[in-house]
Amino acid sequence: MRFDILTLFPDLFSAFVKETIPGRAVAKGLIDIHLIDIRAFAKGPHRVTDDRPYGGGDGMVMKAGPIFRALQSIERAGGPSRVILLSPQGEPFTQARAWELSGIEQLTLICGRYEGVDERIRAECVDLELSIGDYVLSGGELGAMVIVDAVSRLIPGVLGGERSNLEDSFEDGLLEYPHYTRPRVFRDREVPPVLLSGDHEKIRVWRRTQALKRTLERRPDLLEKAKLTEEDRRILADLAKGKAT
Ligand code: 9D3
């Protein structure tokens, strides 16, 4: 899988590409990350990439020409491709969207800056506009890293020896149960005895109960879409009655 990232700040990606799981996937040859400096496609001695908005108002708008030429410079990898604009106006990026994108051979990510990009880039070039959440960032670069991270760890082989992404939070729609490791006592807090019992069935039920309890308390919105078994529904009923802990 190949990612082409269009940005005015390619240096922001150097530690990301060197140090992260996607970075290791690059080293393993499973993914390619190409950084494209939009400024290299700007014209004139000053290589201007932004301009004042028609109609007036504060702030600057990214010019269409440099982004368009940067897009034209990308070699086609062959398989299906998608051009994604990161913007606060985009659809929310979700785990379901990450799975969908992980099946596409080539993703192009356009990172906006300033007030945004000229609307004609959207109209001419963009297949999908994504936001990573309801907060204000300074540009699309962190959004692009979020998408590369979430998508590339779904590609077979990227998560080497680490636990499978099927166990991840959000794959079954629940938050995770609490984790403990040594020491058994830390600042007078003991590891729940069930985890030391060696009774794997009891441990499984306890973990499932904790996952359901956390989700109910912190993210009740997730329970509506979660994949729940008959056992889960019974545990939830017990939690509601104050029976399970
Ligand atoms: C302060 C500027 N805002 C005017 C009211 C609009 C605005 C423009 C551009 C706000 C943020 C940005 C830059 N953000 C992104 O490019 C961005 C983003 C985000 O801000 N939040 C969540 N996801 C994303 S993806 C790209």
pLDDT at 101 over 90: yes
- Active site (annotated) includes residue 231: no
CA distances (Å), origin 5, targets 33, 101, 216: 7, 15, 38
**Higher model confidence: residue 4 or residue 172?**
4
Q: What is the predicted pLDDT for the residue at 170?
A: 64
The arithmetic mean of pLDDT across residues 76-93, rounded, is 97
pLDDT at 161 over 90: no
CB atoms < 10 A from the CB of 57, how many?
10
Q: Which among 60, 62, 129, 136 is the best mutation to test ligand 1's pocket, defined by most ligand atoms within 8 Å of the CB?
A: 136
Q: Which among 60, 115, 137, 138 is the best mutation to test ligand 1's pocket, defined by most ligand atoms within 8 Å of the CB?
A: 137
Q: What is the predicted pLDDT for the residue at 162?
A: 63
pLDDT tier at 244, thresholds 50, 70, 90: confident
Minimal CA–CA distance to 108: which of 34, 41, 182?
A: 34
- Active site (annotated) includes residue 153: yes
* Active-site residue, from 19, 91, 115, 124: 115
Q: What is the predicted pLDDT for the residue at 57?
A: 97
Classify residue 117 by its DSSP letter.
Answer: B
**Residue 91 CB partners (closer than 8 Å, separation 6+):** 97, 128, 129, 130, 131
Q: What is the predicted pLDDT for the residue at 164?
A: 62
Position 157: which residue type? G
Classify residue 52 by its DSSP letter.
Answer: P
From the number of C-beta atoms within 10 Å of its C-beta (0-12, 13-18, 19+), residue 163 rates as exposed
Q: What is the predicted pLDDT for the residue at 245?
A: 81
**Higher model confidence: residue 160 or residue 135?**
135
The arithmetic mean of pLDDT across residues 88-114, rounded, is 97
Q: Decide whether any atom of ligand 1 lies within 6 Å of the 87 Cβ.
A: yes
Q: How far apart are CA 105 and CA 123, in angstroms?
A: 23
Q: How far apart are CA 61 and CA 83, in angstroms?
A: 20
The arithmetic mean of pLDDT across residues 115-139, rounded, is 98
- Asked whether the beta carbons of 150 and 95 are under 8 A apart, the reply is yes
pLDDT at 207 over 90: yes
Helices marked H in 103-160: 119-125, 141-152
The arithmetic mean of pLDDT across residues 128-156, rounded, is 98
Q: Decide whether any atom of ligand 1 lies within 6 Å of the 226 Cβ.
A: no
> What is the chain's mean pLDDT, rounded?
95
Q: What is the predicted pLDDT for the residue at 169?
A: 57
- Active site (annotated) includes residue 163: no
| Closest residue CA from atom 10 of ligand 1 | 136
- Active site (annotated) includes residue 58: no
- Asked whether the beta carbons of 125 and 71 are under 8 A apart, the reply is yes
Minimal CA–CA distance to 208: which of 182, 222, 228, 189?
A: 228
Q: Give the total residue count for the chain.
A: 245
The arithmetic mean of pLDDT across residues 165-180, rounded, is 81
32-37 sheet: strands from edge to edge = 32-37, 2-7, 106-111, 81-92, 128-131
Q: What is the predicted pLDDT for the residue at 172?
A: 85
